[in-house]
Structure formats: C-alpha cells, structure tokens
Amino acid sequence: MAQIFKPSANSITQVGLLSVAIGVPTLWLGIAGLSRSPANTKVQVPKNQPVPFSHQHHTWELGIDCRYCHTSVEKSSYAGLPATETCMSCHSQIWTNSPLLEPIRQSYETGMPIQWNLVNKVPDFVHFNHSIHVDRGINCNTCHGAVNQMHITYKGNSFQMAWCLQCHRAPERYLYKDDSASGKGLTPRQQVFNVYWKLQEFGPANLNDQEKDLVRGDYNGAQPWEQDKIAAGKKLVSEYGVKVQQLADCSVCHY
C-alpha cells in the first residue's frame, strides 16, 4: 500500500501548527488593536467644522467658562452646543468682519442653525448622562482630553465600553478633591470648572498633580502604587454616596 504521508508532511504539519499558533493570536491582537486604534475610534483626529472654532482660544486664552456655551451640562444628560445667538453675543461686537465668522452671521440672519459635526457620540443603545458625572466632580478633561488646548476639537478618549468600565469598576481611582486654598469650600461641581479658572489665572505650574495631568489631557486616575490617592478617593466615594456595587451593572448604561 502506498504511503499516505510523504516525509514532507512532517514539516508541513509543523509549519501548519506553528502558523496557527502564531497566526491566530496575531489576527486576534490585530483586530483588537485595530478596533482600539485611532483609525477606528477617531481619538485625537480633529474633525472639520463649518467654523474653525478654537477651544484653546476661547476657554484658555479668553477664560470663558464652559457653561457660557455648554449651558445645560450641569443639569441635563446633554451638554448641548451653543446657539448661534451665543456666539453673536460677542461676535456682533468683535471680529465682526472676520470671514471665518461669515457662517455664524448668515445663520443669525436666516435662523438656520449651524451644523456642527459631532465629535463625541455613544451608540443609541447606550445612555450617558453628563449631570451626574459633573456632580461627582469628574472633570470634563477626564473624558474629553485637553479641551483647553484644542484648536480644532477632537475626541479625547475612545468611549468604548471598556473605557467607561475602567472607571465604573473603580471610581475611587479617579475621584479627587482640590485641597488647596482655592479649592476650599467648593462643591464637587464647582471644582470641575475651577480647574480651568486656576489654569488661566495662575498658569499650569501652580496646579496640583491631578490637575496638571487633566489640563494636559492625560489623566489616568491613581495607579495601584499611589495608595494615598486611592485611599482619599475611597473616602470621597463614600462621602458622595457613589453606589460602586451597582455602577458596572449592564442596566446602568443599557436600558
């Protein structure tokens, strides 16, 4: 009877097994990597807008509070984008001839809203709520990156489920309180906005550790070895009454 397997079958099997052993994890890692890459998540990719609105200019250099424009951020689930009238409250007076602002003036005259291209969006089956996060003292930059440095707005984080859960499973890593004189007596909500004021007033050098990271846009919470910060965070978790046990339940975000 003729041999079914030729000697070369040995090496074919070896190569085959090896390529499965290497190929499957590579493919898996590749897909995982791709789905987390900026190409997919659009993190740090600026998006074209009808008007080149600069947060760096308006919030850092001019020191305008986020709430001047994103008025509903502390009391509703949506932060909202400013009405044309809000831009016009200043730009009817200053930079009135700027060609960049022509769409704003057009919109004000015709009543047709400016169509901003939304940068941050979770799928419709996810329910996000701004007011609760702001009320627990979570700074805008924790999620949105260094807004105060953006010339053209981009996405600061992936907003994938794993990213939300990182905090929802251990909020004590992210909560902090400003203990300096300028943070005294502030509610968590006020503290969120105080950071931008401090940055503008005193410069980046006079911020505490967390705030420095925040305004740079790379705040990743306390690391496991920073036990003192985690302990302080734990205290805040109980002080604010954060329901940690339920915070990672599916029904918190999907309902």
Partner 1 sequence: MSRFNSTEIAMALQAKTNHRRIQALGLVAVAISLAGCHTDMWRQPKTQPLDASEFYVDGQVSRPLVPGTIARDHLREDEPYFTGAANAKWVDTIPHTVDKEFLKRGQERFNIYCTPCHGRLGDGKGMIATRGYQLRRPVASYHNDRLRNMPVGYFYDVITNGYGAMYSYASRVEPEDRWAIVAYIRALQLSQHANPSDADGKALASAELTPSPTSALRDERVVTR
> Restricting to residues 51-110, which ones interact with ligand HEC according to CB under 6 A?
51-53, 55, 57-59, 62, 64, 66, 68-70, 73, 78-82, 86-87, 89-91, 94-95, 98, 100-101, 104
Q: What angle do the packed helices 209-216 and 188-202 form, to 10 degrees? A: 80
DSSP string, 138-194: --HHHHH--GGG-SS--B-S---HHHHHHHHH-GGGT-----SGGGTT--HHHHHHH
Tokens linked to 23: 């190929």
Quick check: 194 binds partner 1 (CB under 8 A)?
Answer: yes
CA–CA dist 189, 79 (Å, integer): 14
11 binds, among ligand HEC, partner 1, none (CB under 5 to 8 A by kind): none
Of 122-151, binders to partner 1 (CB under 8 A) are 123-125
Verify binding: residue 134, ligand HEC, rule CB under 6 A.
yes
- Extract the tokens encoding 1: 């009877």
**From the list ligand HEC, partner 1, none, which binds 148 (C-beta under 5 to 8 Å, kind-based)?**
ligand HEC
Say if CB 135 and CB 74 are below 8 A apart: yes
Q: Please state, in angstroms and as integers, the Cα–Cα distance from residue 218 to each residue in 73, 206, 209, 212, 214, following that order.
A: 22, 17, 11, 9, 6
> CB-wise, 29 or 75, nearer to ligand HEC?
75
Residue 195 interaction partner, one of ligand HEC, partner 1, none, beta carbon < 5-8 Å per kind:
none
When asked if residue 142 is in the footprint of ligand HEC (CB under 6 A), the reply is yes
In the chain, the amino acid numbered 102 is E
| CA separation for the pair 47, 52 (Å, rounded) | 10
The three-point CA angle 93-190-71 to 5° equals: 40
- Residues in 143-172 at the binding interface with ligand HEC, rule: CB under 6 A: 143-144, 147-148, 153, 159-161, 164-165, 167-168, 171
In whole angstroms, give the CA distance from residue 5 to residue 51: 70
Choosing among partner 1, ligand HEC, none, which partner's interface includes residue 168 (Cβ < 5 to 8 Å by kind)? Answer: ligand HEC
CB of 225: closest distance to ligand HEC in angstroms? Answer: 19
Three-class SS state of 136:
coil
Binding mask 77-106 for partner 1 (x = CB under 8 A): -x-xx-x-xx-xxx-xxxxx----------
Range in contact with partner 1 (rule: CB under 8 A) among 5-13, 17-25, 38-46, 60-68: 60-68
Query: Contact residues for partner 1 (CB under 8 A)?
Result: 61-65, 67-68, 71, 78, 80-81, 83, 85-86, 88-90, 92-96, 111-113, 115, 118, 123-125, 181-186, 190, 194, 197-198, 200-201, 203
